[in-house]
Structure 1
């Protein structure tokens, strides 16, 4: 956290090492800082971030030429009193925009540098400008350092625009959740006896619900929800923070559900320079006589942006019994795709979709939890095939060896050393 020149932030008492502050303590920190600082707040909200990212990719050890944060580090050095707040409890990290909104008494604006350049701010007023920043995932081909360097360039562009308008500001750089999590288990909670399996870790945020009346009828969840658009180069934007958790800003207007068709519509604003952006999942439920039961399929995924449309058809692999939910570790449109453009000339060729740990249920929802999941992973995985082929090869070798042993024949006559030698006549 830092402010523009001439507006030093009040010093805070350093917390104890390893202390993790709660939401109320964070509100107290921000109230003290914003009381004397500028009321134009720039919140750079990244999907994931940890202090280790500054250690690994920053100029912490003096290697400033190879730093991924040259603009950010320059601002911190030039600021009169930069403030590094202690670690925040993970469940409370999504409350930062709400706390700032309560402190400033104004609604947040979600912007990008291009939109900010067209906006004129009031130097004496209050404003909360939020800039979403992505973070690399394991499914992306872009390294975390390259993504962080791109985010640092966005911070530089925003600050240059604010400085050109001579607007005093208070800037905050934080994230919704950590990029590196170290799970510590108390020895007091460990069982004395041996256990077969450990319970899986809980999800970082609950599933997204669409309700028809008092009860939910569609559930949707993804660990990472990412869209990329080709504009001379691939530009990526993460939607997880806007879709799930306490800081979600997505609207479900236009969603519908009934016994045969379900339609989940996610409405966003200011995504990749598009003012309106909609992500639509269309599902249908049918009865198949061969299996004697109802199945639901994810028929297509649509993108609607500023009056344009891109449609992805799903393969026949995205299906499950209607009583179940569908889950897949990775659903993408560009690498081992389960989503394909409807036509070769469709706008979908300019887009890439990536859903990590994807799970959806559009029928027979009985509560806020998913039903039993039908996983996309087939039984005959590459590892299973390798094991079967190796076993078959070893079985063939063993069979051939047994066959050779069975074919062995012993001699029916032997030399007797005490008797006359066996004479073998030879033809001259």
Structure 2
């Protein structure tokens, strides 16, 4: 479920949307477009494979309508500029797609990738830049491959986008009508040279906490992992790490350092060793056991060893365990306040040395897809201090309300009332 780090809010400013739509239609049959889930971005290799199957046999005349910029919003924002026109003899892009067609809403784009280069490779011919009005005079042999490139403009300062896109649709219609008049089979492709809109996409890789919309969060580094021949076996991630080698000494920040990673793994034990420099290293030891009471395997962090200049301090863990198929996550893992790392009695330095992890996550088995953390079991309890305060306050208010209601229900009216016009009520006195 979680991708390092787990259970974090999406990043507000992530990777830019770098993909363009691509439309294909033909007078001949086309292979069906590969099915994909919503939001899928077709990679260059997938597009290359599809075009290879579409242009695999026989000769082809391919029309490539390459607009300077194009995004999916261009088909909807400007009120159907690619729709049918009043002239019934005019063939627009929308009417062309009613024939044999395939639509790729999002194709991976980069400055180095080009649909024209893929088509040139598949057809074995160079693209011919074609002016729409010159197609009438062009003689095409259906026995050989042709790649005709029609360049289309995008919005400029002098003309509105609606006007430019409507004009491009008319150009596409005229070219298609000319080819159909020549009775020449063709395959047409409409796409953009680059996206017209670069939109910031949400990313799952974000640092915890809140941030202003104007302040993008920093990139999140990948987790540290030890790989075996069968894949990663132990993985660790933290947002920040500080260590101190005395009770009152200064903190050493290791967050920005990139350690070297070593370790070992087998079916029951995993070890991850992070060496930050020649003097400081950390060793994490995890084990996995089957517990008959719960009828499942559990993974636990047995010890953390901090080593500096040949001197080692050992810490055992408290409550750092999780089902074997889960990862363990905790916002704060320290050895000195609300400690989850307890100094061992055999380590003389552990009581003086201190460790402080912020946003800590570790997993020693059952890695999701071999590269990502699995669902995270968090150390935070269900009944936090705030929840207990709210419950106790609510119970106190409920008690006051019930007590007041009980007192009101116990009120009784008098049996007789004093009438000022009648005789006074006399109460006999007894001695």
Q: TM-score range by the shorter chain?
A: 0.3 to 0.5
Higher relative contact order (CA 8 A, sep 6+): 2
Larger gyration radius, structure 1 or structure 2: 2
More helix by share: 1
With normalisation by structure 2, the TM-score equals 0.48
